[in-house]
Amino acid sequence: MTEVILSVEDLRVSFPTPNGELSAVRGVSFSVKEGQVFGIVGESGCGKTVTGRAIMRLVPSPGKITGSRIQYRHSDILNCAESDMRALRGRRIAMVFQDPSAALNPLFTIGAQISAIIRQHRIATGKAVRLRAIDLLAELELPSPTEIFDSYPHQLSGGMQQRVMLSMALAAEPDLIIADEATTALDVTIQAQILELLSKLQRERGLTLIFITHDLGLVAEICDHIAVLYMGKIVEEGNPNSIFHSTRHPYTKGLLAALPGSQTLGKSLKVIPGSVPSSTTQFTGCSFANRCESVMADCHMVEPADVLFSADHRVACHLYSDQLVTGPIR
């Protein structure tokens, strides 16, 4: 069996606000295996971005990570020194953000920005830095990489900027990349190109990918394993087939039914009743209980435990609590 590269246990992140504690992540546990494309999917405010940032220890202040454990290979991410974290960030774990035009510094050339990373992590020195950077740009299939090296971000299109972001993420040869809505700002045909490139790189370099997105179509297409987040919790997790074809959790079912497409022609779309509660709400039971169509008395009182349907399919829902063994995916 392949090695677990990253394990997250009971991750909790909260932000103090004037209206009380905002719990963005409320106990998320998962593990990512080497070479896997791990998808984290959910709607806005479900905690997917904060989860990604917590792994990099980049939760913006005044956010606090409490009572959790994040292990990357042999490093304890939440308890190591900031200097160790700096050595890890970019070098072993890299992140790609949603909006490349906001993530690139408009005052420096593309070359300067990639070179900074190559120097920082001592991948190359002296004249070799430039060559290395141009190689990277070429690997990301950017046309005329030497020209791109000397261009400024505003001279590039969105798709090219995202390729540059990817080349920066790959500059220090990390083995885990966290892509947070990395293709959301792009047009579909460009998105298709970037996805193709990502999967090629992933195969060739044996990368592990955490793919954070709101797009259910995307996760179905590229992920080996999918976690569905709702209100800062994983409600269902499993391989694409179990998530899309043996869907168990009422929330996942609701999401899939709400998607428009050829099978919904002439029909009205199924809607999840109500709306997402505020993140400052504290729950005693299941956070989906007030919108759930299969709600039972227990749901408002007791937090549902994980129910294992197969070796890699778990659901946090009371509907199945008396049926099967409970426990996390190992």
Partner 1 sequence: MNNPSELLLDVRNLRVEYNTSRGLFAESRPALRVLDNFNLEVLKGETLGVVGESGCGKTSLAQTIARFVPACGGEIMFEGKNVLEFDKASMRKYRKDMQLVFQNPMSSLNPRMKVRTIVGEPLVTHTNLDRTARVARVSKLLEETGLQSDYMDRYPNELSGGQAQRVVLARALALNPKLLLLDEPTSALDVSVQAQILNLLKKLQNDHNLTYMIISHSLTVVEHISDRIAVLYLGEIVEQGPCGSVFDKPSHPYTQALFSSTPIPDPNHQRQRVNLIGTVPNIAKPPTGCRFHTRCPEAMEICHKVKPQTHTIADQHTSACHLLADSH
Residues forming contacts to partner 1 in the complex (CB under 8 A) are 43-44, 143, 157-160, 187-193, 196, 214-218, 220-221, 240-241, 244-245, 254-256, 258-262, 264-265, 268-272, 275-276
Q: Which is nearer to partner 1, 219 or 319 (CB)?
A: 219
- What crossing angle do the helices spanning 128-139 and 158-170 adopt, rounded to 10°? 130
Q: 74: which residues sit within 8 A by CB, 6+ positions away? A: none
Smallest gap from Cβ 216 to partner 1, in A, equals: 4
Helix (H, G, I), strand (E, B) or coil at 282: coil
Element containing residue 37 per DSSP (H, E): strand 37-41
Smallest gap from Cβ 117 to partner 1, in A, equals: 25
Q: Which is nearer to partner 1, 159 or 304 (CB)?
A: 159
Overall residue count recorded for the chain in this entry? 330
Q: Which is nearer to partner 1, 257 or 301 (CB)?
A: 257
Smallest gap from Cβ 57 to partner 1, in A, equals: 28
Q: Please give the Cα distance from 155 to 205 (Å, whole number).
A: 29
Q: Please give the Cα distance from 56 to 61 (Å, whole number).
A: 14
Smallest gap from Cβ 303 to partner 1, in A, equals: 22
Q: Which is nearer to partner 1, 51 or 162 (CB)?
A: 162
Q: Please give the Cα distance from 292 to 231 (Å, whole number).
A: 14
Q: Which residues of 17-53 are buried (b: 16+ CB within 10 A; e: fewer)?
A: eeeeebbbbbbbbbbbbebbbbbbbbeebbbbbbbbb
Using alpha carbons, select from 21, 47, 49, 20 the residue that is nearest to residue 230.
47
Smallest gap from Cβ 202 to partner 1, in A, equals: 17
Q: Which is nearer to partner 1, 83 or 275 (CB)?
A: 275
Place of tokens 């593309």: 110
Q: Which is nearer to partner 1, 41 or 319 (CB)?
A: 41
Smallest gap from Cβ 215 to partner 1, in A, equals: 6
Q: Which is nearer to partner 1, 211 or 320 (CB)?
A: 211
Smallest gap from Cβ 131 to partner 1, in A, equals: 25
Work out the end-to-end distance of the chain between its first and last CA atoms, rounded to an integer number of angstroms. 11
HSE-CB at 215 with a 13 A cutoff on CA atoms is 17
